């Protein structure tokens, strides 16, 4: 039933694996994640325009537009707002109807808010004061890591947001880790362990 709905809704071909293979190849060649994913999304959108024209036109639903404009509109809508499938098979529709970039905006706003909150605390000197009081009981490397873990976990409990729980303790303890000659990955690992 699902395979039949897939076959009715899409033109399936091994060529359609190329965008995913391209992303993997770019990551293997050490391209940064953002440009690799952007290139993969753009190539995937172009493949949809060329190989899935009827699906894209149905998705757009505007029969008055010229064909090439409707295909371009479908490409951009899918990238921004996600793809919605109406195949008649609920399981397939739920699986393939997803969000696009707009579905990530809440996460982006949380990250931006956490950064602004951290910047205010740092600029006003509150972060340094909090860090100084915590660091006053730190004696060695082990207790510094325990303080980082505790602060990150505490921020997670108090703020109910893992971005703040990672960003604020990271800013608080970054200088102390550097002063003690500890690699930044030690701070990163402690923040990841307690903040996520």
pLDDT at 83: 77
pLDDT block averages, 10 residues each, the chain of length 196: 78 89 95 92 88 81 82 83 79 79 82 83 90 93 95 88 86 93 94 90
Q: Which of 194, 193, 123, 107 is nearest to 155 (CA)?
A: 194
Q: Alpha-carbon distance 115 to 109, whole Å?
A: 10
Residues 184 and 164 in one domain: yes
Domain final position from 43, 74, 99: 99
Which of 82, 99, 116 corresponds to the end of one domain?
99
- Based on the structure, what is the number of domains in the chain? 2
Residue numbers of the domain that contains 41: 2-99
pTM of the model: 0.57
Last residue of a domain, which of 57, 76, 99? 99
């Amino acid at each position: 039933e699902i395979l039949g709905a897939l076959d009715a809704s899409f033109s399936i071909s091994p060529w359609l694996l190329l965008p995913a293979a391209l992303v993997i190849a770019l990551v293997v060649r050490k391209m940064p994640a953002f440009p690799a994913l952007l290139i993969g999304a753009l190539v995937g959108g172009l493949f949809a325009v060329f190989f899935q024209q009827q699906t894209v036109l149905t998705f757009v639903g505007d029969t008055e537009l010229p064909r090439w404009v409707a295909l371009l509109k479908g490409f951009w809508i899918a990238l921004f707002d996600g793809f919605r499938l109406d195949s008649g098979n609920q399981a397939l529709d739920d699986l393939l109807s997803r969000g696009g970039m707009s579905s990530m905006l809440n996460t982006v706003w949380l990250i931006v808010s956490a950064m602004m909150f951290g910047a205010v605390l740092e600029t006003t000197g509150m972060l340094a004061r909090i860090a100084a009081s915590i660091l006053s009981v730190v004696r060695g490397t082990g207790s510094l890591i325990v303080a980082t873990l505790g602060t990150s976990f505490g921020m997670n409990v108090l703020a109910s947001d893992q971005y703040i729980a990672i960003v604020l303790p990271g800013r608080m303890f970054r200088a102390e880790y550097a002063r003690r000659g500890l690699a930044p990955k030690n701070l990163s690992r402690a923040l990841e362990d307690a903040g996520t």
